[in-house]
Structure 1
Amino acid sequence: MKSRLHLFQGYGVELEYMIVDKNTLAVKPIADVLLRDADGQVTGELEQGITAWSNELVSHVIELKSNGPSDDLGALHQKLVADVRAINAQLGEHGAMLMPGAAHPWMNPAKETRLWPHESQEIYQAYDRVFNCKGHGWSNLQSVHINFPFYDDEEFARLHTAIRFMMPMIPALTAASPILDGKFTGYMDKRLDFYERNQSKLPILTARVVPEKLFTRHQYQKHVYDRIAEAIAPFDTDKILKPVWLNSRGAMARFDRGAIEIRIIDIQECVAADIAVVSLITELVKLLVSEKYVSFKTQESFTTEQLYHVLRSCVKRGAKAQITDMDYVRTWGFESLSGGEFWQAMVERLGDSIAAGHQKENLKQLTQDGTLAERIIKRLGEYYTQEQLTEVYRELCDCLAQDRLFRK
Structure 2
Amino acid sequence: MLSKGFEVEMYTSTPEGDIVGLSDKIVASLDGFVREPDSRNVEYTTPPCYRYERLLCDLLRPRIRLRKYLTDLGGYTLIPGSTLALGGSDRFHRSDPENPYHTYIEQTYGTRVVTASVHINIGISDPEMLLQACRLVRVEAPLFLALSASSPFLDGKVTGYHSTRWGLFPKTPTHVPLFESHAHFIHWTEQQLAAGTMQNVRHLWASVRPNGDRRPYNLNRLELRICDLISDPVSLLAITALLEARLIQMLENPDLDPLKMSQLPAASRAQDLLTLTDANEIAASRLSLDAELKHWKDGGPIQARAWVEQIYQEVWGIAKKQGFSCFLLPLKKILREGNEAQKWLTLHQQGTDVRQVMQQAILATAAQEFALRDSLCQPLVA
TM-score by length of structure 1 reads 0.77
1:329 CA drift (Å): 6.1
Matched, 1:99 2:79: yes
1:101 CA drift (Å): 1.6
Give 2:376's aligned residue: none
CA distance in 1, matches of 2:340, 2:334: 8
- My pick for the range that moved more, 314-323 or 302-311, is 302-311
User: Judging changes above 3 Å, is the alpha-carbon distance between structure 1 residues 324 and 154 closer, same or farther for their aligned structure 2 residues?
Assistant: closer
1:383 CA drift (Å): 4.7
Q: Is the 8 A contact 2:348 2:354 kept in 1?
A: no
Query: Which of 11, 20, 26 is equivalent to 2:13?
Result: 20
User: Judging changes above 3 Å, is the alpha-carbon distance between structure 1 residues 12 and 81 closer, same or farther for their aligned structure 2 residues?
Assistant: closer
User: Judging changes above 3 Å, is the alpha-carbon distance between structure 1 residues 115 and 27 closer, same or farther for their aligned structure 2 residues?
Assistant: same
Give the structure with the larger helix fraction: 2
CA distance in 1, matches of 2:122, 2:286: 27
CA distance in 2, matches of 1:403, 1:320: 31
1:294 CA drift (Å): 4.0
User: Judging changes above 3 Å, is the alpha-carbon distance between structure 1 residues 225 and 402 closer, same or farther for their aligned structure 2 residues?
Assistant: farther
Give 1:122's aligned residue: 100
Give 2:159's aligned residue: 185
- Equivalent position amino acid for 2:306 in 1: E
- Equivalent position amino acid for 2:273 in 1: T
Q: Is the 8 A contact 1:99 1:396 kept in 2?
A: no
Q: Is the 8 A contact 1:177 1:373 kept in 2?
A: yes
User: What does residue range 179-328 of structure 1 map to in structure 2 within 5 Å?
Assistant: 179-195=153-169, 198=170, 205-208=172-175, 211-232=176-197, 241-242=199-200, 244-254=201-211, 256=214, 257-258=218-219, 259-291=221-253, 294=256, 297-298=260-261, 303-324=273-294, 327-328=297-298
CA distance in 2, matches of 1:219, 1:339: 31
1:228 CA drift (Å): 4.2
User: Judging changes above 3 Å, is the alpha-carbon distance between structure 1 residues 16 and 316 closer, same or farther for their aligned structure 2 residues?
Assistant: same
Q: Percent identity?
A: 15
User: Judging changes above 3 Å, is the alpha-carbon distance between structure 1 residues 115 and 319 closer, same or farther for their aligned structure 2 residues?
Assistant: same
Matched, 1:138 2:113: yes
1:374 CA drift (Å): 0.7
User: Judging changes above 3 Å, is the alpha-carbon distance between structure 1 residues 132 and 188 closer, same or farther for their aligned structure 2 residues?
Assistant: closer
CA distance in 2, matches of 1:122, 1:73: 38
User: Judging changes above 3 Å, is the alpha-carbon distance between structure 1 residues 293 and 383 closer, same or farther for their aligned structure 2 residues?
Assistant: farther
1:309 CA drift (Å): 1.6
Give 1:33's aligned residue: 25
User: Judging changes above 3 Å, is the alpha-carbon distance between structure 1 residues 58 and 403 closer, same or farther for their aligned structure 2 residues?
Assistant: farther
- My pick for the range that moved more, 71-80 or 252-261, is 252-261
Give 1:82's aligned residue: 61
- Equivalent position amino acid for 1:166 in 2: E
1:326 CA drift (Å): 8.0
User: Judging changes above 3 Å, is the alpha-carbon distance between structure 1 residues 345 and 357 closer, same or farther for their aligned structure 2 residues?
Assistant: closer
User: Judging changes above 3 Å, is the alpha-carbon distance between structure 1 residues 194 and 396 closer, same or farther for their aligned structure 2 residues?
Assistant: farther
CA distance in 2, matches of 1:380, 1:285: 37
CA distance in 2, matches of 1:174, 1:357: 19
CA distance in 2, matches of 1:268, 1:160: 21
CA distance in 1, matches of 2:122, 2:296: 29
1:245 CA drift (Å): 1.8
Q: Is the 8 A contact 2:164 2:285 kept in 1?
A: yes
For 2:13, what is the secondary structure of its paired residue? strand
CA distance in 2, matches of 1:206, 1:382: 40
List alignment gaps of at least 5 residues for structure 2: 263-268, 373-382
1:384 CA drift (Å): 4.0
CA distance in 2, matches of 1:89, 1:217: 44
- Equivalent position amino acid for 2:161 in 1: Y
- Equivalent position amino acid for 2:103 in 1: Q
CA distance in 2, matches of 1:228, 1:192: 24
Matched, 1:109 2:89: yes
1:369 CA drift (Å): 0.9
Give 1:159's aligned residue: 133
CA distance in 2, matches of 1:374, 1:307: 22
CA distance in 2, matches of 1:246, 1:9: 26
Q: Is the 8 A contact 1:228 1:246 kept in 2?
A: no
1:263 CA drift (Å): 0.6
- My pick for the range that moved more, 271-280 or 177-186, is 271-280
CA distance in 2, matches of 1:219, 1:253: 12
Give 2:341's aligned residue: 373
Runs of 4+ in structure 1 off by over 6 angstroms are: none
Q: Is the 8 A contact 1:158 1:289 kept in 2?
A: no
CA distance in 1, matches of 2:324, 2:81: 23
CA distance in 1, matches of 2:252, 2:223: 19
- Equivalent position amino acid for 1:285 in 2: L
Q: Structure 1, residues 122-176: CA drift from partner, whole Å, max 9, x if none?
A: 33123224x153x2x212x111112233334422332222222321322221111
- Equivalent position amino acid for 1:87 in 2: L
* Corresponding residue pairs, total: 355
CA distance in 2, matches of 1:132, 1:308: 20
- Equivalent position amino acid for 2:291 in 1: A
For 1:106, what is the secondary structure of its paired residue? coil
1:357 CA drift (Å): 9.3
For 1:64, what is the secondary structure of its paired residue? strand
Q: CA RMSD in A?
A: 2.9
Query: Which of 43, 50, 56 is equivalent to 2:36?
Result: 56
- Equivalent position amino acid for 1:260 in 2: L
Give 1:360's aligned residue: 328
TM-score by length of structure 2 reads 0.82
- Equivalent position amino acid for 1:298 in 2: M
- Equivalent position amino acid for 2:3 in 1: G
Give 1:333's aligned residue: none
User: Judging changes above 3 Å, is the alpha-carbon distance between structure 1 residues 10 and 325 closer, same or farther for their aligned structure 2 residues?
Assistant: closer
1:349 CA drift (Å): 3.6
